Structure 1
Amino acid sequence: MTAVSIEEHPVAGGGPYAVTTGPDGALWYTLVHSGRIGRLVPGDEPAGHPLAPGCGPTIITNGPDGALWFTEYQAHRIGRITVDGEVTEFSLPTPDSGPFGIAAGPDGALWFTETAADRIGRITTGGEITEFPLPAGGAFPSAITAGPDGAMWFTMNQANAIGRIDTDGTVIVHPLPTAAAAPVGITLGPDGALWYVAIAAGHIGRITTEGGIREFPLPDRAGRPHAITPGADGALWFTEWGGNRVGSITADGVIEVHDLPTPGSEPHGIALGPDGALWTALETGALARITRRPLP
């Protein structure tokens, strides 16, 4: 049997929001309040790279070019940072579009959501941008991930649906069974399905590439799950922003939840780290490292 150990690592700057493992074996994270990108090698001191104040960096991901790519929600830009800290920024064609989620696609480009413009965007590593309108207004597309079928899958937070977009821009919308569930995070699971979190309904959802949906309620339906990612143990790990917890769910739907050490720490993004542990960004000012350990 195992238990979960959680260690918090304070980082300078305001508001750690999303985190990912970079190609250099370091953790890279966004600081949404201070307008910075952070870098942490587990065991070392964190470092930061300044952006324009007030730009609101949110989600960060690995690009196919060996750099990190991120969204600037407040500045309506897509950013790129090399492992040496060189930053390039690309303004979007649609004003005030509110880019949020971003992920590498199967076509060698980055795909992103435009929450305020009801569009999915595509940017090449050279900075060429294409936008694809969604079939419904007010959808608030949020997180996005590559599926196993050569398409991108994304959450439609206010349309209460999961969307699929082909690389040619063709969109399919899958409505969710539970009304007003407000899906946010989404990721590809080890079982070949897409797994998402419903922040308003308090459940974890699973959708197959054919559109079959299952929902798994959390023990605390008011926990407000926010982000989800695969772990090294074959489970999906998620954050509960309102419940101050992290949790895991197996492909069979078995859920475990674990309280974070500091009350009100506001966990958002979560990712598998270079050390094999799970790391989550706590908006109150730290990264938390989550590991399983044997019980005595």
Structure 2
Amino acid sequence: MKFDEIAVTGAPYGVTAGPDGRMWVTSVHSGQILRIGDEVSVFDLDPGCGPAVITPGPDGALWFTRLHDHRIGRIDVDGASTSFALPTPEAGPYGMAAGPDGALWFTEMNLDRVGRITVDGEITEIPLGVEGSYASTIVTGADGALWVTLNQAHAIARVTVDGKVTVFALPTEKAAPVGIARGDDGAVWFVEIGAGQVGRVTPEGEITEFPLPQRDARPHAIAADGAGGCWFTEWGANRVGHVTANGEFEHFALPTPGSEPHGLAVAPDGAVWVALEAGKVARLH
């Protein structure tokens, strides 16, 4: 496998495959959304809004969190965008995922809550009941619930669409989970940036952890590969890693030193796209 790199403006952070067959990237520091196809298109947002995590919505648009101005953004495939203010000030929205109920769900890092927004912009907020949890990323599991990494509580939360919260403490102290993804095996997979591990949790809450060969690699984001394993970024090691369903690892060094890999996504053709905050987007194929 090999990397191709595309130099872009700003600081790429989140990436996802869009419904239009192109890749969509947030540029967190420059307040922009990038659309990557045969060419790169740049869509300016409000300066300083801090677009972070992006995901396709059920309405054919892309939805993303605006971390710095505490709003939820929406952009259609032609680049027209709008945003919605959150009910609670200084919420710190970060993770975002399409829910099983036709709405979008997101985390509020500063408030120990998750939020839900309909495609019409109606917002509700649900307390997680864990103080100082720093809720980070969120995904819909195979069981139809939302799964959330609680970075500073060193735990994973399961949230049903009617608001019932169950918290599963991780076995490893100071694990600090960040990225989370729905696996191909019915479980949810996540990475522990503090402990240098990849974890797996079943719908019943059974947790397995796989230590990385380099424990200070600081894994950040994770995505299922469509064949039973997962890809993940290793921010501290300047690499992209792969883990099989059995916990076997393979690692791929990024071509540019200090590239700061954060979000990643698997495209329909199986290529892995990685947002590099140093100003590039990489494609592993």
For this structure pair, what is the TM-score category when the shorter chain's length is used for normalisation? over 0.9
Give the unaligned 5+ runs of structure 1: 292-296
The partner residue of 2:104 within 110, 119, 126 is 110
- The residue aligned with 2:192 is 198
Structure 1 letter corresponding to 2:208: R
Provide the secondary structure at the position in 1 that maps to 2:2: strand
Q: CA deviation at 1:232?
A: 4.1
Structure 1: distance between partners of 2:181 and 2:270: 18
The partner residue of 2:28 within 25, 32, 48 is 32
* Alpha carbons 2:184, 2:227 under 8 Å: kept: no
Provide the secondary structure at the position in 1 that maps to 2:242: strand
Structure 2: distance between partners of 1:255 and 1:208: 20
- Report 1:222-233 matches (<5 A): 222-233=216-227
Structure 2 letter corresponding to 1:11: V
Deviation sequence 1:169-200 (CA, Å, 0-9, x none): 11000000001100000001111110000001
Q: CA deviation at 1:254?
A: 0.8
User: Normalised by the size of structure 1, how large is the TM-score?
Assistant: 0.95
Q: CA deviation at 1:9?
A: 1.1
Q: Does 1:260 align with 2:266?
A: no
- The residue aligned with 2:206 is 212
Q: CA deviation at 1:159?
A: 0.4
Structure 1: distance between partners of 2:199 and 2:228: 17
Structure 1 letter corresponding to 2:50: G
Provide the secondary structure at the position in 1 that maps to 2:142: coil
Q: CA deviation at 1:275?
A: 3.6
Higher relative contact order (CA 8 A, sep 6+): 1
- The residue aligned with 1:164 is 158
Identity of aligned residues (%): 60
- The residue aligned with 2:232 is 238
* Alpha carbons 1:238, 1:248 under 8 Å: kept: yes
Q: Does 1:16 align with 2:16?
A: no
Q: CA deviation at 1:266?
A: 0.3
Structure 2: distance between partners of 1:190 and 1:233: 7
Structure 1 letter corresponding to 2:202: T
- The residue aligned with 1:294 is none
Q: Does 1:65 align with 2:64?
A: no
Structure 1 letter corresponding to 2:126: F
Give the unaligned 5+ runs of structure 2: none
Residue correspondences, number: 285
Structure 2: distance between partners of 1:153 and 1:104: 12
Q: CA deviation at 1:45?
A: 1.9
* Alpha carbons 2:184, 2:226 under 8 Å: kept: no
Runs of 4+ displaced beyond 6 Å: none
The partner residue of 2:136 within 137, 142, 147 is 142
* Alpha carbons 2:185, 2:228 under 8 Å: kept: no
Q: CA deviation at 1:233?
A: 4.3
Structure 2: distance between partners of 1:232 and 1:116: 33
Structure 2: distance between partners of 1:105 and 1:45: 31
* Alpha carbons 1:26, 1:274 under 8 Å: kept: no
User: Normalised by the size of structure 2, how large is the TM-score?
Assistant: 0.99
